[in-house]
Amino acid sequence: MATQCVCPPTAELPDLGNSDCDVKLDLIVKIQLARAAGGPYADITDETELDNRLGAAVATKVVLTPNFADTDIPGTEIILTGQNDNTSPFGEGFRVGETSTTFTATFANLDPAIKDQLKAYECYTDLVIAMYDAKGKVISLGNDLIPISNFFVGSRQFGGRTEKDLYTFNFTLPLEWDNGLTVNALTYDIFSKVNS
């Protein structure tokens, strides 16, 4: 959801809450993929609901990726037009938006059959995800999954004798993808879960 500015803005600044504790994500190492048609979870932390979705044969089906590394989720930047020229007052420029965010990570020594299965996900335009960090916390939008686009899995990069073989994959997160973001601890080990 993009910021909607009221014109003119209110005389007083909007309220800003106080933070009682830090919210720090650990390294993102696994994602859950689903289709948007599957709808939100009743409780994204519920193990039984996850198990039911892993075994589903309908739109609610979810899959878990293998663990990955080298995760990069860059921040966005402001997009200005008319900066330092005659098209804006004093050359200050006009804010017209922000850049998109591309999530990038790599699978190491991935089974080629799994890579081929992941490649098929490039055909879906309605993918949504939940992310899992190295401490087993789930990152989502409450009980909703985060929409993504442009899912892509690259070709194998050979590591030779001493390095791992890598497959890079990436996807685009929507603008302001982290609005409403929640980080929840799980009462079960997500890394022990397998796809049906």
Has residue 4 been placed in a domain? Answer: no
Q: Is the pLDDT of residue 1 over 50?
A: no
Q: What is the mean pLDDT of residues 154-183?
A: 93
Question: Which tokens hold the place of 25?
Answer: 């994500």
> H or E stretch including 34?
strand 28-35
29 closest CA partner among 81, 75, 68: 68
Q: What is the mean pLDDT of residues 25-34?
A: 94
3-state secondary structure of 108: strand
Q: What is the pLDDT of residue 24?
A: 77
The CA dihedral of 54, 68, 73, 184, to the nearest 10 degrees, is 50
Q: What is the pLDDT of residue 55?
A: 92
Q: What is the mean pLDDT of residues 62-76?
A: 95
Average pLDDT, the chain: 92
Has residue 173 been placed in a domain? Answer: yes
Has residue 22 been placed in a domain? Answer: no
Tell me the CA end-to-end span of the chain in Å, nearest whole number: 34
52-61, 86-95, 142-151: range with lowest mean pLDDT: 86-95
Q: Is the pLDDT of residue 23 over 90?
A: no
Angstrom CA distances, 179 to 4, 50, 86, 163, 175, stand at: 13, 24, 35, 38, 9
**Length of the chain (residues):** 196
Strand intervals (E) in 42-126: 62-64, 69-72, 78-83, 92-98, 101-108
Domain assignment of residue 121, given as a range = 28-192
- The model carries a pTM of 0.87
Has residue 5 been placed in a domain? Answer: no
Has residue 128 been placed in a domain? Answer: yes
| Cα gap 55→31, rounded to integer Å | 17
The CA dihedral of 21, 136, 150, 155, to the nearest 10 degrees, is 130
Number of separate domains in the chain: 1
Q: Is the pLDDT of residue 32 over 50?
A: yes
Has residue 67 been placed in a domain? Answer: yes
Q: What is the mean pLDDT of residues 128-149?
A: 97
Has residue 13 been placed in a domain? Answer: no
Has residue 129 been placed in a domain? Answer: yes
